[in-house]
A = this chain, B = another copy of it.
Amino acid sequence: MSEGRSDIVVMKFGGTSVAGAAEVKRAARRIVAAREAGSRVVAVLSARGKTTDELVAQALEISERPDSREMDMLLSTGERISCALCAMAIHDMGHKAISLTGSQAGIVTDSSHTRARIIDVRADRIRDKLGEDRIVLVAGFQGVSTESRDVTTLGRGGSDTTAVALAAALGASVCEIYTDVAGVFSADPRIVPGARKLAMASYEEMLEMSASGAKVLQLRSVEYARNHGVRIHCRSSFEDGPGTLVVAEEEAKKETVEQPFVTAVTHSDGEARVTLTGVRDEPGVAGQIFTALAEAGVNVDVIIQNEPVGGNELADLSFTVDRSDLTTATETIAGLGGVSKGVRTDERIGKVSIVGAGMRSHPGVAAKVFEVLGGEGINIEMISTSPIKISCVISAGRVPDAVQALHRAFDLGANAVRPEDPTGAAHRPTVSG
């Protein structure tokens, strides 16, 4: 997709970027500016500010467990409102616009209401409208199910996926994701004021960052972008200047003289741990547990099993889940009946991760992470690694300290001398182990 750049640009504006009339007009001006600069523009909009939360509240006032098909019918209205209003603003600026629902835009999904997956993008109507010199506004987060022609939604953050899917289908030169932050940072600037805005990140790095707590881009949209080669540009809708480009590793490498081996520190403090004590140590038990959790829609993150020691044949099994899934997780385990002697939970669990494509060729990074956290007196309770990520489960209360210490130790700050700086080698942190 990045070859032979087309003149189509997909721009996506999140809820804060269309929250009030002033924000809608600002988004409209950005869209018009892109059109006037010569691009054909498709803009994907989220629901305004707190609209989705308010609609959810209305549903919960009516029903404790709202029907999911009807939930989708309800929630999909928020993005349509944003698109209609933005189209009005663009008309007033002298351009032709048209808003399309997810269904009208050809976003075809499966029938998994409230968390549907896109299975096809039939963008003919968008192409027709672009051909009529219109700016096309598409309601994000939603589609239409292929079987029953019902309105579906893609789950929270699904508008990013809508934008990336449209960019892929239309062969757009770039998918610009506008939010209230200026890009992807080397750490959360609220915790590390000196965090650096990354000029580039590879899909793989961004996937690990999204999975380990970075909230800028929804995980699924990054996967979709990687699979279809869609270049993402994360940027601020409130300031000008470039944000962070998320591209294939080869393109990211070209731009960097020498790749830093650690790119960012991410964190999450909304996790919970479940520990099953005295789990029957026989084949299939773990499979039974995690299959049941998956079927209940619980995303399990880090897992450790302590092998039985001595004559005892019972093991302990711990795993972490999103804190909002804790009740479902414990209910699911209870429903299995007798897989373990006991169940303990800990809701004060956080996670800190370092991510970087360069870690592949720098095997000592893990040891340095443990050393840094140990030096801060932070106890590492669980560890999970990938070739380009190391995550440590720690006490939620120590997360800010851990993020700051790792950011400093790996020299990731805005004022740090970067590895690509010719003199930078001397400043690179020592890797032990």
A: residues with CB less than 8 A from B are: 21, 24-25, 55, 58-59, 61-64, 66-67, 69-71, 73-74, 76-77, 80-81, 83-85, 87-89, 91-92, 97-99, 101, 104, 149, 151
Task: Flag if B84 contacts A21 (CB, 8 Å).
Answer: no
Contact A71 B55 (CB under 8 A): no
Q: Known: A24-B62, A63-B89. Contact between A55 and B81, CB under 8 A? A: yes
Cα distance A24–B80 when bound, in Å? 23
Do A61 and B104 touch across chains, with their CB atoms under 8 A apart? no
A311 to chain B, nearest CB (A): 53
- Which residue in chain B gives the minimum CB-CB distance to A91? B67
Q: Chain B nearest CB: distance from A82 CB in Å?
A: 10
Inter-subunit contact B70/A88 (CB<8 Å): yes
How far does the alpha carbon of A76 sit from the alpha carbon of B69 in the complex, in Å?
19
Say which residue of B73, B80, B89 sits within 8 Å of A84 (CB atoms): B73
Whether A70 lies near B84 (C-beta < 8 A) is: yes
Task: Decide: A81 near B58, CB < 8 A? Known: A63-B89, A88-B67.
Answer: yes
A59-B24 Cα distance, complex, nearest whole Å: 11
Given A73-B80, A73-B83: A88 in contact with B104 (beta carbons within 8 A): no
Contact of A73 among B67, B73, B99, B149 (CB under 8 A): B99
Could you say which residues of chain B place their CB within 8 Å of the CB of A67?
87-88, 91
A46 to B58, CA, bound (A): 16
Chain B positions within 8 Å of A77 at CB level: 77, 80-81
* Contacts A91-B63, A92-B63; A74 near B69 (Cβ below 8 A): no
Shortest distance between the CB of A328 and any CB in chain B (Å) = 20
* Cα(A77)–Cα(B97), bound, Å: 19
Q: A24-B62, A69-B98, A73-B80 are in contact. List 17 more A-B contacts (CB 8 A).
A: A58-B85, A59-B84, A59-B88, A62-B85, A62-B88, A62-B89, A63-B88, A63-B92, A67-B87, A67-B91, A70-B84, A70-B85, A70-B87, A71-B88, A73-B83, A74-B80, A74-B85
Partner of A61, one of B21, B74, B101: B21
Separation in Å of the A104 CB from the closest CB of chain B? 7
A24 surroundings in chain B (CB, below 8 A): 62
Contact present for B88 and A84 (CB under 8 Å): no
Q: What is the minimal beta-carbon distance from A178 to any residue of chain B, in angstroms?
A: 18
C-alpha spacing A70/B98, complex, angstroms: 7
Instruction: Give me the 6 closest cross-chain CB pairs, A-B, nearest first.
Output: A77-B77, A74-B84, A21-B61, A73-B84, A63-B88, A70-B87
Report B-chain residues with C-beta under 8 Å of the C-beta of A151.
Answer: 101
In the complex, chain B residues whose CB is within 8 Å of the CB of A63 = 88-89, 91-92
List residues of chain B with CB within 8 A of the CB of A97: 70
Q: Which B residues lie within 8 Å of A99 (CB)?
A: 70, 73
Which residues from chain B contact A98 at a C-beta distance below 8 Å? 69
- Specify the chain B residue showing the minimal Cβ separation from A73: B84
27 of the cross-chain contacts (CB-CB < 8 Å) are: A21-B58, A21-B61, A24-B62, A25-B62, A55-B81, A58-B81, A58-B85, A59-B84, A62-B89, A62-B92, A63-B89, A66-B88, A67-B91, A70-B84, A70-B85, A70-B91, A71-B84, A71-B88, A73-B80, A73-B84, A73-B99, A74-B81, A76-B80, A77-B77, A77-B80, A77-B81, A101-B151
Chain B residues with CB under 8 Å of A64's CB are 92
Q: Is the CB of B104 within 8 A of A149?
A: yes
Alpha-carbon distance A66/B97, docked complex (angstroms) = 12
Q: How many angstroms between the C-alpha atoms of A172 and B55 in the bound complex? A: 33
Nearest CB in chain B: distance from A96 CB, A:
10
User: How long is the Cα–Cα vector from A70 to B101 in the complex, in angstroms?
Assistant: 11
Given contacts A74-B85, A84-B70, contact A21 B92 (CB under 8 A): no
Contacts of A104 in B (CB 8 A): 149
Which residues of B are found within 8 Å of A88, using beta-carbon distances?
59, 62-63, 66-67, 70-71
Give the nearest-CB partner of A104 in chain B: B149
Cα distance A329–B320 in the bound complex, in angstroms = 69
Q: Which residue, of A63, A70, A91, has the highest number of chain B Cβ atoms within 10 A?
A: A70
Residue of B nearest to A139 (CB): B73
